[in-house]
Amino acid sequence: MAEGDEPNEGGDEIQVGKRSKLPMILLALGFFVVGAGGGAAIYKALDPADPAADDPASASSDEDEKSSQDAVPDTEMSVLGDFSVNLRDASGRVLQLKIEIETDTEHAATVDKKMASLRDSVILLASDYSYQELEGVDGKMRLKDDINARLNALLEPVRVRRVYFTEFVIQ
């Protein structure tokens, strides 16, 4: 018999043992790599630090890009004032409002010039609502949207960005 043909009593067990350890080692190594990669990904996702903060040159260029992208015109709040309006229903209820509007800063003078017509428009619009129509958030949002649309029509080309109720009481 040749040297490789002779049966090795303990040799088969050693070879089988080596073969069975290799997949276990590879599996453990795979779990380690996946776990380390997952841990690094979670750490990076939860880390609030900005990587550009370490490099001041890149941070300033990032800030320049953000400021050019976020270049929103300056806005200004204009107070339309206090309103006391009788509601449409026969209950005799009164709506008391304080309204402010947000427009571009460059158009604030136009809002001031047309203040009387804006207030008149809000009074006429609000007096056409009933108590039931103003109940809940939906009714108040509908009134706010109607006021915004009406003011935009009066102020065109000036755009009212938002209407704010700073007081809203029905008595």
* pLDDT tens digit sequence for 6-42: 555 555 555 554 456 777 788 888 888 888 877 777 7
Q: Give the architecture-level CATH label for domain 75-170.
A: 2-Layer Sandwich (3.30)
* pLDDT tens digit sequence for 77-90: 999 999 999 999 88
Q: pTM value?
A: 0.57
* pLDDT tens digit sequence for 99-122: 999 999 888 889 999 999 999 999
- Pairs from 66-75 (Cβ < 8 Å, separation ≥ 24): 73/104, 73/105, 73/106, 74/104, 74/105, 75/102, 75/103, 75/104, 75/105, 75/161
Q: What residue segments make up the domains of the chain, in order of their start?
A: 11-69, 75-170
Within 8 A by CB and 6+ apart from 113, the residues are none
Within 8 A by CB and 6+ apart from 101, the residues are 77, 78, 80, 111, 151, 160, 161, 162, 163, 164
Question: Which pLDDT value is given to residue 93?
Answer: 94
Compute the residue count for the chain. Answer: 171
Q: Which is nearest to 52 in space by CA: 61, 42, 65, 64?
A: 61
* pLDDT tens digit sequence for 38-86: 777 777 777 655 555 455 555 555 555 555 445 556 899 999 999 999 9
